[in-house]
Structure 1
Amino acid sequence: MKEQLRVGILGLGVVGSGSVKVLAEQQAKIKEQTGVEVSIVKALIRPGEDKEAFAKEFQLTLTTELSEIVEDPSLDAVIELIGKIHPAKEFITAALENGKHVVTANKDLMAQHGVELVEIAKANNVSLFYEASVAGGIPILRTLTANYLADEITNIRGIVNGTTNYMLTKMLEDGTSYEEALAQAQELGFAESDPTNDVDGIDAAYKMVILTQFAYGMDVALIDLEIQGIRGLSDQDVAQAQAFGYEIKLIGESVKTAGTVNVSVGPVLVPQTHALASIKNEYNGVFINSTGIGQSMFYGPGAGSLPTATSVISDLVAIAKNERLGISAPQFNEYRRPQALTPDEQVIASYYLAVTGIGQEDLQTILQNETVTAKEVVDTNGRIVVLTAPINRLQLAAVEEAVANKGTLERRMRVMEA
């Protein structure tokens, strides 16, 4: 039985240094609970990076050479926190091939190359864990593998990007414009100088790829998702949605229907009475429907040094427990099913459509031609907003094409049922 787990860490940035601090604070508790002394003893830093004082405080050996960590026979596990796809993929691969367990928070990498990396981990009889890759401090992935093992999930959706949720909260509560809300998010460090991944829905899409793997065992790629962001969202739409009794949230959703899945990310009109509407600022929330438990929601900080670092250390603790018990390197998610995407004619939802350049009569004709019922119609100085009854994607595409031939579809958003 192993009584020590010695760890190397790649990157001492905000989350990396936070992980070292969290482990130092909880080390005694972890040893008491697991019987294993878990310690981060070596760190990879960039050449010229000054981390000497931090290293001295936490008794770390610093190196600028990857080989000194991944090829060190005294190390049992490696934490990767440098981010991006490359060279993180190569670094993780090297660690796995050298027989090191790996913990990462890298959602971009795991969404795009996770299947390949898991196979490498299996081939080398080591574990690859990545709880912190989705929803920061919310332990959602391990919850899906453990608490829902005897249940069938039918819908998993949520707010999984804190930047856009912060922006939408400011637009709703303070009347802030999209541009002003983005500037505030950047000033506070929630958004990068290039906010593309956040505001165009890509960050949330990566997380929905991972959640879909855990919920249904199906591997989907970004090309399989319908992805829409909040870039340029009008304050008119925020106000109109509120007048209809909704709040706009960037929602990722993965729905299972008759053995097929439909995964999407986009701005959604959420009923003000729904639990997801109550999630404000940079917080995340994941709402699950299942046949056994019914409805449940998991809420917490979606990012930040300490929440993310806590998830990273939780993965290390899981590895330590397995090592102590002599369990042969389990993978994070062993659930696998063939991919089956829901056909467009079976993907049904109600929609919010904001149209300009078309008269109300012409718009009604377009809707009637596609057998689409308008539940609400509001005309504000020639900008017509329609709430449709439920329609499928083929009907939606036909309406969008007809509108484009006569005017402009300024905004299209799905409407969540209460």
Structure 2
Amino acid sequence: MTHAAQPGAEPSPVRIGLLGAGVVGSQVIRLLAEQRAELTARVGAPLELVAVAVRRPHKHPEVPADLLTTDGAALVARADVDVVVELMGGIEPTKDLLLTALRRGAGVVTANKALLAEEGPALYEAADAAHADLYFEAAVAGAIPLIRPLRESLAGDRISRILGIVNGTTNFILSAMSDTGESYEIALKEATRLGYAEADPTADVDGFDAAAKAAILASVGFHTRVGASDVYREGIGSVTSADIRAADEIGCVVKLLAICERVTGGPGDGPAAGEAVSARVHPVMIPRNHPLAQVDGAYNAVYVEAEAAGRLMFYGPGAGGAPTASAVLGDLVAVARNLVGGGRGPRESAYAELPIRPIGEVPTSYHISLDVDDRPGVLATVATAFAEAGVSIATVRQQGGGDDATLVLVTHTAADAALSATVDRLTELDSVRQVTSVMRVMGDMS
């Protein structure tokens, strides 16, 4: 499918079908109209919106009636639709609709992170077979240019790690807890009142949204297919005000991070001991001087470490109608340019096929707070539990005394499974009344 014009001839319009006209879709429609002349100049041909599929047409008086349809299947099958922009969300029937469009050679632009994390391989394979474009910048971190830099600008480099604050709701909640000292429950209510959290915030606060984005980032960054089920996930529901204070005492802040990295080493001498990919989402204490520690409120940021380029950070609004629509239009312009020029954009790159390393084999550090008996020998008993698990202690301090005695320990880096086993062992000690807090720490805090 090409729109390349003969010399001296006017290029034919690139015809667009839109699935969904909600918060983001309505902004895409607005921007297509308001920036028509500029977009035409950038593409080299007019962008013409020819159909908009919605569930309830009467809810969209801003869309010309002759463009509205409730038949998404007919829209994606239309031979005159060159690019399908998908903003309806969900897995089904969205997957089948996009497969139909790709198989007939239409370009696809989508912001659907859940679909890509769950069903990405089927979409990539259909795009490759039909030599069609599949772009998805808006699926991760809203308006922040990220996917294209990873798969194009850094295509000649070797990425070692990607760290991201990729969910604005959880970042707003954790920032509020840090700034005011309020509890998770109160901060969540405030986030809901201000519109940062949905009525059902499960996808955000339990880490599902961030895990889908982590799967996409790991797939693109490490040339390996990583699905949502491959991503270890913890949410922020168990983060307490005490955790926030404990982080502050060691010069850290608490963030929910998507962490995607190349890891080496592992148990034994087999394949597990070689290079692999780790993808995980969980709360982490990060040093206050790290760039991500400065990202507050509902903003997103992604920190990339590459061998040649070094350390890069991408920052900006990670959600919202207009910001996300900006990313969608950027993809749309790229796909349309390819059609006009008779080419196509970058294909999926999964040549590396690195294994996925389970969380238990990933090296990390723990911050652990214990309520303990205030008597001689307790520290020695606790230290023995760590030693028996092969975990060394970086720092230890006691707070309070008597019935309020607390030990706060930070470990050196060790396999996550060994650290988790140590925590389980601590709960069995007679001298430990309660393990009050456990949280991973970025880096070795010794």
**TM-score band w.r.t. shorter chain:** over 0.9
Contact 2:57 2:69 in 1 (8 A): no
Contact 1:42 1:63 in 2 (8 A): yes
Please give the alpha-carbon distance, in whole angstroms, between the structure 2 residues aligned to 1:23 and 1:382: 63
Is 1:70 the counterpart of 2:60? The answer is no
Please give the alpha-carbon distance, in whole angstroms, between the structure 2 residues aligned to 1:340 and 1:68: 40
Residue 228 of structure 1, aligned match among 199, 223, 234: 234
Q: Following superposition of structure 1 onto structure 2, how do residues 316-395 of structure 1 map, counting pairs within 5 Å?
A: 316-327=332-343, 329-342=344-357, 347-356=362-371, 360-361=378-379, 362-374=381-393, 375-379=395-399, 381-395=404-418
Task: Name which of structure 1's ranges 389-398 and 335-344 shifts more when overlaid on structure 2.
Answer: 335-344
Please give the alpha-carbon distance, in whole angstroms, between the structure 2 residues aligned to 1:213 and 1:37: 33
Q: Following superposition of structure 1 onto structure 2, how do residues 84-95 of structure 1 map, counting pairs within 5 Å?
A: 84-95=90-101
| 1:28 aligned residue | 37
Residues 350/189 of structure 1: CA separation in 2 closer, same or farther (3 Å cut)? same
| 1:291 aligned residue | 307
Letter in 2 for 1:271: P
Is 1:201 the counterpart of 2:207? The answer is yes
What displacement does 1:332 show? Answer: 4.8
Report Cα offsets for 1:348-380 as digits up to 9, x if no partner: 222112334777534333223224333133445
Please give the alpha-carbon distance, in whole angstroms, between the structure 2 residues aligned to 1:317 and 1:216: 26
What displacement does 1:145 show? Answer: 1.2
Report Cα offsets for 1:219-261 as digits up to 9, x if no partner: 1233333211111311011011111100000011111134311
Please, what is the CA RMSD of the aligned residues? 2.1
Contact 1:9 1:80 in 2 (8 A): yes
TM-score normalised to the size of structure 1?
0.93
Contiguous gaps of at least 5 residues in structure 1: none
Report Cα offsets for 1:115-156 as digits up to 9, x if no partner: 111112222332111110001111100001111111111111
Q: Following superposition of structure 1 onto structure 2, how do residues 183-262 of structure 1 map, counting pairs within 5 Å?
A: 183-258=189-264, 259-262=275-278
Please give the alpha-carbon distance, in whole angstroms, between the structure 1 residues aligned to 2:99 and 2:361: 40
Is 1:132 the counterpart of 2:138? The answer is yes
Contact 1:137 1:301 in 2 (8 A): yes
Please give the alpha-carbon distance, in whole angstroms, between the structure 1 residues aligned to 2:127 and 2:370: 51
Contact 2:152 2:346 in 1 (8 A): no
What displacement does 1:341 show? Answer: 2.9
Residues 262/249 of structure 1: CA separation in 2 closer, same or farther (3 Å cut)? same
What displacement does 1:67 show? Answer: 3.4
Contact 1:118 1:331 in 2 (8 A): no
Contact 1:247 1:269 in 2 (8 A): yes
Contact 2:224 2:349 in 1 (8 A): no
| 2:419 aligned residue | 396
Please give the alpha-carbon distance, in whole angstroms, between the structure 2 residues aligned to 1:378 and 1:269: 20
What displacement does 1:342 show? Answer: 3.8
Q: Following superposition of structure 1 onto structure 2, how do residues 168-187 of structure 1 map, counting pairs within 5 Å?
A: 168-187=174-193
Task: Name which of structure 1's ranges 244-253 and 98-107 shifts more when overlaid on structure 2.
Answer: 98-107
Please give the alpha-carbon distance, in whole angstroms, between the structure 2 residues aligned to 1:215 and 1:146: 10
| 2:268 aligned residue | none
Runs of 4+ deviating beyond 6 Å: none
Residues 358/35 of structure 1: CA separation in 2 closer, same or farther (3 Å cut)? farther
Please give the alpha-carbon distance, in whole angstroms, between the structure 2 residues aligned to 1:383 and 1:230: 23
TM-score normalised to the size of structure 2?
0.87
Contiguous gaps of at least 5 residues in structure 2: 6-10, 265-274
Letter in 2 for 1:306: A
Residues 369/102 of structure 1: CA separation in 2 closer, same or farther (3 Å cut)? same
Report Cα offsets for 1:161-187 as digits up to 9, x if no partner: 111000011001122210111112122
Please give the alpha-carbon distance, in whole angstroms, between the structure 1 residues aligned to 2:297 and 2:159: 27
User: Aligned to 1:270, what secondary structure does the other structure show?
Assistant: strand
Task: Name which of structure 1's ranges 306-315 and 23-32 shifts more when overlaid on structure 2.
Answer: 23-32
What displacement does 1:402 show? Answer: 0.9
Report Cα offsets for 1:240-286 as digits up to 9, x if no partner: 11111000000111111343111111111111111001101011111
Please give the alpha-carbon distance, in whole angstroms, between the structure 1 residues aligned to 2:336 and 2:90: 27
Report Cα offsets for 1:183-220 as digits up to 9, x if no partner: 12122222222211211111111111100111111112
| 2:267 aligned residue | none
Please give the alpha-carbon distance, in whole angstroms, between the structure 1 residues aligned to 2:218 and 2:149: 14
Percent identity, aligned pairs only?
35
Please give the alpha-carbon distance, in whole angstroms, between the structure 2 residues aligned to 1:272 and 1:318: 38
Please give the alpha-carbon distance, in whole angstroms, between the structure 1 residues aligned to 2:160 and 2:56: 48
What displacement does 1:65 show? Answer: 1.2
User: Aligned to 1:55, what secondary structure does the other structure show?
Assistant: coil
Please give the alpha-carbon distance, in whole angstroms, between the structure 2 residues aligned to 1:21 and 1:222: 33
Residue 312 of structure 1, aligned match among 323, 328, 353: 328
User: Aligned to 2:333, what secondary structure does the other structure show?
Assistant: helix
Residue 19 of structure 1, aligned match among 28, 32, 55: 28
Residue 113 of structure 2, aligned match among 101, 107, 120: 107
Report Cα offsets for 1:20-74 as digits up to 9, x if no partner: 112223221121122121122211111364213x013xx8611111233112222
